[in-house]
Amino acid sequence: MNRLPKPLGLDLGFGFTKCIDGERTVIFQSHMCQGPGESDVATELPEETYHIALDDRDYIVGNDTLSPSLFEDFARRPERLINTYGKRLVLTATAPFSSHETPLHVVIGLPITYFQHWATELTKRLTGYHKIGIYQSDGRCARKNIHIRKVHVIPTPLGTYTGLIMDADGRRQASEYDDLKIAVVDIGFRTTDIMVMASGRFCNRGSGTIEMGIANGFEKIAGRLYRESGVIPDLARLYKAIRLGSIRIEDQEYNLTKLRDEIYREMSSALADRINYGLKDDWDIERVLLTGGGAADAAATIAPLIDSDVVLIEHEHDVRLSNVQGQLRLARHMWGASGFCNAG
C-alpha cells in the first residue's frame, strides 16, 4: 500500500531538539544517558523526556535531572551532538510522527560549521528504515518502525529565512527581504550562527558559526544557584526561570532578575563584538535579523551594540521554533505537500 509521505521540519541544536509537522510539536533537550532497561514497574519520567530502546541499548533522552549537566556534555567535544547523539535524537524526535511506516521527508537544520562538516554523513546515517522502542508509563516497550525516505540538511538560520519568504504550504511569496542584503543571526544554546543573504543568495563571506551562545549566561547563573542552594536546575526549568526572573528551590525563592540582567549585559557585549567582527567586510548589510532560542532574551541588550538596523524575529508560541517552522515550509516546498513542486 502506497502511503503519502509526511514532511517534517527538524532542528538539531545543542540546547534542544525540535520537530514539527504543522499540527504537533516535539521538543526536548539534546541530551541522553544510559537507560535502565525494560521493567514491569511503571516509571514516570519528567516532561519532555523519553525512554527509548535503539540498537540493542536503552537510553533516557531529554530532560533527565539525574544525568550529567548539559553544560558539561558538549563543552569539550561539541562534535558529539552529531557524531554520537545525532541519529538517536532525530529518531526520538520523529518517532511520534511515524505511523505504519509512513515515509518521512525531513529537512534538518544544523549550525553552519557543523552543517559544512556533517551534512552528508548525517543524511547517510538517517536515510532508510529504523527500529526504535518507546517505553510506556507501565514499563512496556512499544516497538515502532520508522521509514525516513528523504533527508535534506541545511544551515539552521536558513529556516528563519525560509519562514519569511514562503507561506505555510511552502509556496514562495513576496517578501521585503527579496532584494535586501541581510544577516540572519541565530543565537542558540552553545553557538551563534551568522548567515549572510544578498538578494536571496547565500554568501560565504561573513557567514559562519561563533562558539558562543546563551549557555554562556545560563552556566554562570546555574553556578551561582549551585553555590547558594547546592542544586543545579535542569535546563528546561532554568530556561523558564531565567525568563520569569525567579526560581523556587527546596521551598526557597531565588530572585534572578538582577543577576540575569548583569550577566546578559556582559554576554551581549562579548557576542556583539564577535558579530560585528564577523560582518566587518559586509559594510552594505541593510538589516540584521535576530532569531533562535536565545534571541528574545538577549535582544534588548545586544541590539544596540550591533552595527546595523536590527529586527527581532518573534514566534507566536515559542522562540525556539523560529527556525524549525521554516524548515517545515521548505520540506513542503521540496516534496510537494502543496502539490506544486517536486524537487526530488
Interval 329-341: pLDDT, tens: 999 999 975 433 4
pTM above 0.85, yes or no: yes
CA–CA separation, 245 vs 257, rounded Å? 5
In degrees, rounded to 5, the angle at the alpha carbon of residue 48 between the alpha carbons of residues 6 and 110 is 55
Q: Which residues of 189-212 are buried (b: 16+ CB within 10 A; e: fewer)?
A: bbbbbbbbbbeeeeeeebbbbbeb
Residue-level pLDDT at 341: 41
End-to-end CA distance of the chain: 21
Nearest Cα to 293, choosing from 329, 317, 269, 273? 317
Contact indicator for 260, 155 with CB cutoff of 8 Å: no
For the chain, the farthest-separated pair of C-alpha atoms sits apart, in whole angstroms, at 63
Task: Give tens-digit pLDDT for 120-174.
Answer: 999 999 999 999 999 888 888 889 999 999 999 999 999 999 999 999 999 999 9
CATH numeric code, 6-160+323-335? 3.30.420.40
Confidence of residue 72 (pLDDT cuts 50, 70, 90): low
pLDDT at 76 exceeding the cut of 80: no
Contact indicator for 111, 184 with CB cutoff of 8 Å: no
Instruction: Collapse the DSSP code of 142 into the 3-class scheme (helix H, G, I; strand E, B; otherwise coil) and give the result.
Output: strand
What average pLDDT does the segment 288-294 reach? 93
Residue-level pLDDT at 339: 36
Question: Number of H helices and number of E strands within the chain?
Answer: 10, 16
Give me the residue spans of the domains in the chain.
6-160+323-335
DSSP 261-313: HHHHHHHHHHHHHHHHHHTTT-TT--EEEEESTTHHHHHHHHGGGSSS-EEE-
- Residues whose CB falls within 8 Å of the CB of residue 321, separated by 6 or more in sequence, listed in order: 18, 20, 25, 27, 315
Contact indicator for 315, 336 with CB cutoff of 8 Å: no
Task: Give tens-digit pLDDT for 79-105.
Answer: 777 888 899 999 999 999 998 888 999
CA–CA separation, 263 vs 253, rounded Å? 20
Residue-level pLDDT at 39: 57
